[in-house]
Structure 1
Amino acid sequence: MARYVVRRDAGLYGYERALRRAGLGPVAGADEAGRGACAGPLVAAAVVLPDSPGRMIQGLKDSKLLSAAQRERAYAEIIAKAEAWSVVALGPGECDRLGMHVANIQALRRALLRLEVPPRYVLTDGFPVDGLGTPGLAVWKGDRVAACVAAASVIAKVTRDRIMTELAETYSDYAFEIHKGYCTPLHQSHLDEHGPCPEHRMRFDNVVRALEISRERRAAVTG
């Protein structure tokens, strides 16, 4: 059997080129956004990029290394050029019920299974995903070394940021449009002042503490 090695200088598309040479294309990448947030959904995306140098995504990187404007431009280009893409969101209630690790795997699996172009190989960021019926590899920092995973990270991040901006209109006390539900000092100050809203994840210790503070405050007023 032929052996294919991905060189360190192969670039962001190196994994996909090697897998296609081995007859394992199409290759899908999957990643999530919002795992560490204490409010809002967990969003996962999966992407199959085209096997054509002329359709490469310009300036593609891990979404965390791009500005908001760069992510929006990359998002539009990925949507236009991808052979297939999908995105799923798990709400805070489902995240609480499953626990974040299980929710993360569930979200990645659902996104991959929704692809209209079935992949023959799957690359995921950090965690292996079973139950796909397709071979795959969990790649450490996959969104920085594999183009399809980086593309998935952009789709997931942009989708989630848009959701959080919309939620800010409904829950205006929390400034979701600024911190996007992550555990920043600004978010915590609003959380401590107003208590949790339905978009908060009740498994997070800081949310539980804020709920207790809110209950104590109400008890003091009514008592």
Structure 2
Amino acid sequence: MAAPVRRGRRRVPSTSLTADGWRPERAVVRRSAGNWTLQSTLHRHGLGPVAGVDEAGRGACAGPLVVAACVLRPGDAQRLAGLTDSKLLTAAAREEYFELLTRRAVDLSVVVIPPREIDRRGVHAANIEGMRRAVAGLAQRPGYVLTDGFPVRGFGAPALAVPKGDLVAACVAAASVLAKVTRDRIMVELDERLPQYGFAVHKGYCTPVHDAALAAHGPSAEHRYSFVNVAGAAAAARGEPVLVHNGASTPSEDPVVAAGGGVAS
């Protein structure tokens, strides 16, 4: 009786021909480059330019939502050392990085979405559309897009949702700085027109000072009326009974809108 033939496992080459063409070699991601690792790996495998996208003001109940897209120079890690999530930087550090990014970035795009559009679309839908508009506003179509936290389609390029992207990917951190500084400047300008709300201090987020101003003066045209606390303040200003929202149901599926606020971003 002949011995059974042992079939060895066929070795698949790292680069193989597919129906769409050549499949690139599998990328090996190393952590040695810190928050530049992911985009450096994508660049090394011919998938650049890599755009990072992030927003500021998602959880605020007043002021615009600002979304930014940014493409960094692959060799700028030293010049941008310390770049991280904008919320972890001081205001002075954010301003310094903002000026540096506007000079050093390969490409950048900033989109400002006013409160009225947020109310019409819902904050999450407005955010997604803002991300698409920011990427579309880049001078060169990116080869890859990195987003912070949740997946987004419609960029016209491959995209990857990166958990805590503004900490993990430098280009996302850059976008967060561009969005945050742009929005903070807008809120300071609004404070000059509407000093009774204290926008320069809390930047439109839900704080005791902001809530007290809403109760005393009612909401302005710069507030988001789709947020529960603003809608309640508007009803109170009209002398209507205010219903306490218990979280059981909401006209929006977005938890930020349901809660009437959120963490600063």
- Indicate the residue corresponding to 1:212 in structure 2: 235
Normalized per residue, the structure richer in helix is 1
- Residue 181 and residue 54 in structure 1: after superposition, are their counterparts in 2 closer, same or farther (change >3 A)? closer
RMSD, aligned CA: 1.4
Out of 199, 202, 212, the residue aligned to residue 189 of structure 1 is 212
1:66 aligns with 2:89: yes
Out of 183, 189, 195, the residue aligned to residue 172 of structure 1 is 195
Please state how far the C-alpha of 1:215 moved relative to its aligned partner.
1.2
Out of 153, 178, 183, the residue aligned to residue 176 of structure 2 is 153
1:97 aligns with 2:120: yes
Q: What's the TM-score, normalizing by structure 1?
A: 0.94
- Residue type of the partner of 1:77? L
Q: What's the TM-score, normalizing by structure 2?
A: 0.79
Is the CA contact (8 Å cut-off) linking 2:190 and 2:199 kept in structure 1?
yes
| Equivalenced residues, count | 217
1:133 aligns with 2:156: yes
- Residue type of the partner of 2:211? Q
**Structure 1: 5+ residue runs without aligned partners?**
218-223
- Indicate the residue corresponding to 2:105 in structure 1: 82
- Indicate the residue corresponding to 2:30 in structure 1: 7
Is the CA contact (8 Å cut-off) linking 2:36 and 2:77 kept in structure 1?
no
1:25-76: CA deviation from partner (whole Å, max 9, x where unpaired): 1100000000000000000000000021476413201000000000000101
- Indicate the residue corresponding to 1:37 in structure 2: 60
Is the CA contact (8 Å cut-off) linking 2:54 and 2:67 kept in structure 1?
yes
Is the CA contact (8 Å cut-off) linking 1:105 and 1:127 kept in structure 2?
no
Percent of pairs with identical residues: 57
Cα distance in structure 2, aligned partners of 1:50 and 1:8: 19
Cα distance in structure 2, aligned partners of 1:28 and 1:192: 42
Larger Rg: 2
Is the CA contact (8 Å cut-off) linking 1:74 and 1:154 kept in structure 2?
yes
Please state how far the C-alpha of 1:130 moved relative to its aligned partner.
1.5
- Large movers: runs of 4+ above 4 Å: none
**Structure 2: 5+ residue runs without aligned partners?**
1-14, 16-24, 241-265
Name the SS for the 1:73 alignment partner.
Answer: helix
